[in-house]
Structure 1
Amino acid sequence: MPDDEASRLYLDILGQGGRIPLDGLPPEQQAAVELLVDLGLLMPNPLDGWFTAVSPRAVAERFSAEMRAEATRLLLRAEGLPHELDALTRAYEALPRRSDRPGEATYVDGNEAIRHRIAQLVSECEREILTTQPGPRSPSGLELARTQDKLLLKRGGTLRSIYQPVTLREPETVGYASAITAHGGAIRVLDEPFQRMILIDRSVAVVPVTTGDTNRAAFVTDPATLSFLVAGFERDWARSDVVPWQEMAAPTAPAATATAADRVGRLLAAGLTQRAVATRLGLSERTVAGHISRLRERYGAQTLFQLGWLMRGGRRG
């Protein structure tokens, strides 16, 4: 379509009776004239030596007809594409895979086989992926995840992940999180112990068979188990901390802090008791006591009252 300069020139031509001479155009108008000619809004007539203005309605009808024809071609192409790929689809679906029958779990051994099966499931994901990642991930694993997750987000899916605060000190993980959140994903941190898990479309969960063993995984489809895992994820998600990943990925980003302990500290400074803090954050009193112990050591406080007073005053030990 014509830009502002070409539109102004077209209006000027109309003001001159609908035509201008072929020769003698100012150099600054040459590009606009060429654009109008390309669009069909200006017709050169070498016999008479003039450019003649053409009706925009006729041009619009021509473009509309061409676009409708192209749209029809694309629709026909889209309808025929599944048939063209039918043989490849049958071959893909014939691969050994998890049972789709609810209530069954499939055990997969070996990191390579596990990654391959997860990649298949992620490529088939239609709506949502939920993950909890307690430990560090290798740079190659993060790069693979970055590619898969970007494709998911690009096709309209959602991604939510929970990491532990240790990842805040890992440049590769910070870079991955910055890239994924920039594309619409959401990644938080939670300073509590939890297990690795991937939930895909709330229809299959991938969990380790043995705690800490990444060489064997269970692919679970039982609806009751999936509901339990989703509820646990949502509980942890509500308690986790939002992280400004783009800021952290910047070269001038400050060092990360233990966010869960800071949350406990903020509530203590506001006057809440240890039990009230535990209730507010959904933590056990034992976990809160551990955070308080680390805060007292950090601030050099002897009592809980002194810790709250020091934190309200903003003085660090």
Structure 2
Amino acid sequence: MNGLLDDAARRLYLEILARGGRLMFREAMAQAPDATLRLIDLGLLVHFESDESLTAVNPRSVSDRLGNELRDRAVRKLIDSQQTAARLGDLVRAYDAAPRRLDRNPAVERVDDRRRIRQRIMQIEAEMREETLAAQPGGARPVAAMGQGLERSLGFLARGVELRTIYQPGALADPPTVNYAATVAAAGERLRVLDEPFRKMLIFDRKVAIISAAPDDNSAVFVEDPIVIAALVGLFERDWARAGRVDWYALSGRPRESGVPAELTELLKAGLTQRAIASRLGLSERTVAGHIARLREFYDAETLFQLGWQLRGASGRPTAPAE
């Protein structure tokens, strides 16, 4: 960890902040290739393959993630993990002081540029910790976006973030979308289908909402007002309750398995808490939370109580729940 960032990497990150938080990949590689790759590897820069650009990410989120990974790996890394925030302190201060943040409206802001929208979403996702609610109207998901979307979703689920998504029926007729849904469902994401019109929307940690303001997604409204957020969450929960459950595994032709260690399932059946299971198995609580999310999706359980009840009633190898 002493070599977390060298001077070249720090200078490059600060330069990108000074230029608005965005730089073309080829320009950064020409200037400092090793520093560029190191910043991408750490997560301080996000590389967009579609237009070959780089976007700066809040170093606070990188500090938290690295700290958690180090604590999970071994006790000998504990001291270094506790010092991660201090090592990135100068970058945090530079990020907060960057001029591009001064014109932000903390309540509602409309953004009419696809690149800026994507940049803001990536920054919000990097700081997300608990939950994402997504309403995705239309049918098939864009194939070009599914690759990066899958990687990000699996990463969130591995960190214990809860993901819930609503599709429209057209998604059921598109094999790539069905295959994508089956993959993320196996990892713990919960997806339903609603045969009604609704607007495209994302809600992160019930703190920030993003609403599409144009059919081509070139305009979006970012909302941080708590009252408006609460109303949007209420709309999502209403639609979620009306939406239908789908056996994505069957649609994709895959065998249906939970993918959760048997010993963890047995401890849940015995009534142990998430924290107790993590301690017993030597896992992080986020890892256990991710496994529990997968089981809830597998058994179609809305609550942990329902999951425990269904686990205790299950015999032999689980099968797909009846609708």
TM-score range (shorter-chain normalised) is: 0.5 to 0.7
Task: Tell me which of 87, 91, 113 is aligned to 2:116.
Answer: 113
Which residue does the alignment assign to 2:228?
Answer: 225
- 2:88 is aligned, of 81, 85, 88, to 85
Q: Is the 8 A contact 1:204 1:219 kept in 2?
A: yes
Pairwise CA distance, 1:157? 0.8
CA distance in 2, matches of 1:178, 1:99: 41
State how far apart, in whole Å, the 2-side matches of 1:76 and 1:218 are. Answer: 42
The answer on whether the counterparts of 1:190 and 1:240 sit within 8 Å (CA) in structure 2 is: yes
Match of 1:191 in 2: 195
Percent identity reads 40
Deviations 1:31-83 (A, max 9, x none): xxxxxxxxxxxxxxxxxxxxxxxxxxxxxxxxxxxxxxx95531111111112
Q: Is the contact made by 1:97 and 1:117 (CA closer than 8 Å) also made in structure 2?
A: no
Which residues of 2 match residues 199-210 of structure 1 at below 5 A? Answer: 199-210=203-214
Q: CA deviation at 1:99?
A: 7.7
User: How many matched pairs?
Assistant: 182
Does structure 2 conserve the Cα–Cα contact (< 8 Å) formed by 1:206 and 1:219?
yes
Equivalent residue for 2:169? Answer: 165
Q: Is the 8 A contact 1:207 1:217 kept in 2?
A: yes
Alignment CA distance shift 1:182-1:71 (3 Å)? closer
Shift in Å, 1:86: 2.3
Distance 1:189 1:98 in 2: 40
- In the alignment, structure 1 segments of 5+ residues that lack a partner are 1-69, 253-317
Structure 1 partner of 2:130: 127
The whole-number CA distance in structure 2 between the counterparts of 1:213 and 1:172 is: 21
Once residues 172 and 72 of structure 1 are traced to their aligned partners in structure 2, the CA distance between those partners, rounded to angstroms, is 42
Q: Tell me the SS of whatever aligns to 2:196.
A: coil
8 Å CA contact 1:108–1:216 kept in 2: the answer is yes
The residue identity in structure 1 corresponding to 2:170 is V
Tell me the alpha carbon deviations over residues 81-130 of structure 1, each in whole angstroms, 9 at most, x when there is no partner: 1122223334444553598875x212222222212211111121110000
Two-structure CA RMSD over aligned residues (Å): 2.5
SS of aligned partner of 1:145? helix
Alignment of 1:245-284 (within 5 A): 245-250=248-253
Instruction: Tell me the secondary structure at the aligned position of residue 205 of structure 1.
Output: strand
Taking a change above 3 Å as real, the CA distance of residues 91 and 122 of structure 1, as seen in their structure-2 partners, is: same
Residue 182 (str. 1) matches residue 186 (str. 2): yes
Q: Secondary structure at the match of 2:82?
A: helix
Q: Name the SS for the 1:160 alignment partner.
A: strand
Residue 239 of structure 2 aligns with which residue? 236
SS of 1:188's equivalent? strand
8 Å CA contact 1:100–1:221 kept in 2: the answer is no
Where 2:110 maps in the other structure, the secondary structure is: strand
> SS of the counterpart of 2:217?
coil
Asked if the contact 1:205–1:219 (Cα under 8 Å) also holds between the matched residues in 2, the reply is yes
CA contact (8 A) 1:189 1:242 kept: yes
* 8 Å Cα contact 1:168/1:174 also seen in 2: yes
CA distance in 2, matches of 1:176, 1:214: 21
1:75 aligns with 2:67: no
Which sits farther off after the overlay, 228-237 or 92-101? 92-101
Change (3 A) 1:132 1:97: farther
- How far apart are residue 214 of structure 1 and its match? 1.1
Larger radius of gyration: 1
Are residues 86 and 217 of structure 1, via their aligned partners in 2, closer, same or farther at CA, if it must alter by over 3 Å? Answer: same
CA contact (8 A) 1:143 1:176 kept: no
Letter in 1 for 2:194: L
